[in-house]
Amino acid sequence: MSPRAIAAAAVVFSAVIAMPLPAQDTTAGRPTAVMISGPDVGRRAPAFRLPWANKEGAGPADQPYDLALDRGKTVVLAFFPRDFTNGCTAEMKTFAEQYDSLFGPEVVVVGISTDSLATHTRFAASLDLPFRLLSDPRQEVARRYASHDRSGYMRRTVYVVGPDGRVRYRNIRFNALDPTHYAELGAAVRRSRGG
């Protein structure tokens, strides 16, 4: 290879190396990693309070949903990207249609996304959802549950919190179109309920 060709290749190579990668913080100039964490199975579920809505409307501003108040019950936390999108509609519709077989009457189910309470109300009414939808617009709770995404929307994750406040099941890559994920979730809920 000629010296001129080597020099040209070096310029191209250094230009490619200098391009910021998606996982880099370009303001600091140092690479950063996106960590997927959140509470592992057996660990205490982080407490939180969030405003909520259901098919009838927004809940009272002075009475947000509080995970700590559901201690003693099995709770399903379903983080999802957005109301009215295909995957989220499929997931929430499946939850509603299979509510009795997946969860049962003693289980508390909440969906959590960045959507507003008004949008949640319309979404819950359109699907006749029998559970509340919580609004986490700044993804503060989502960060603690490995559900935060830099896109501005949440990642689709599902947690089952047992009556003792500990995580009994988590799926940080829940697939809204995969029947085995619903079967695994239903089995985890039954185990948490002692059945």
pLDDT at 36: 58
Residues 79 and 44 in one domain: yes
Residues 20 and 101 in one domain: no
pLDDT at 16: 33
Residues 11 and 52 in one domain: no
Residues 11 and 79 in one domain: no
User: Which pair of structure tokens corresponds to residue 91?
Assistant: 């997931």
pLDDT at 106: 92
Q: Is 88 a catalytic residue?
A: yes
Is residue 195 exposed (0-12), middle (13-18) or buried (19+ Cβ within 10 Å)? exposed
Residues 88 and 180 in one domain: yes
Q: Which domain holds residue 23?
A: 1-33
Residues 154 and 168 in one domain: yes
Residues 131 and 72 in one domain: yes
Residues of the chain with pLDDT under 70: 1-36, 195
Residues 17 and 61 in one domain: no
Residues 47 and 141 in one domain: yes
Residues 73 and 12 in one domain: no
pLDDT at 48: 98
CATH number, domain at 162? Answer: 3.40.30.10
Instruction: Say how far apart CA 160 and CA 181 lie, in whole Å.
Output: 13
Residues 10 and 49 in one domain: no
Catalytic option among 50, 67, 76, 88:
88
DSSP the chain: --HHHHHHHHHHHHHHHHSPPTTEETTTTEE------SPPTTSBPPP-EE-EEETTEEPPTTS-EEGGGGTTS-EEEEE-S-TTSHHHHHHHHHHHHTHHHHT-TT-EEEEEES--HHHHHHHHHHHT-SSEEEE-TT-HHHHHTT---TTSS---EEEEE-TTSBEEEEETT--TT-HHHHHHHHHHHHHHHT-
Instruction: Say how far apart CA 113 and CA 88 lie, in whole Å.
Output: 10
Sign, CA torsion 14/17/20/24: negative
Contact 135, 53 (CB under 8 A): yes
Listed residue (124, 127, 149) closest to 136, CA to CA: 149
Is residue 93 exposed (0-12), middle (13-18) or buried (19+ Cβ within 10 Å)? middle
Instruction: Say how far apart CA 91 and CA 177 lie, in whole Å.
Output: 7
pLDDT at 105: 86
Residues 71 and 20 in one domain: no
Give the pLDDT confidence of 140-179 residue by residue, as tens digits.
999 999 999 888 899 999 999 999 999 999 999 999 999 9
Number of domains in the chain: 2
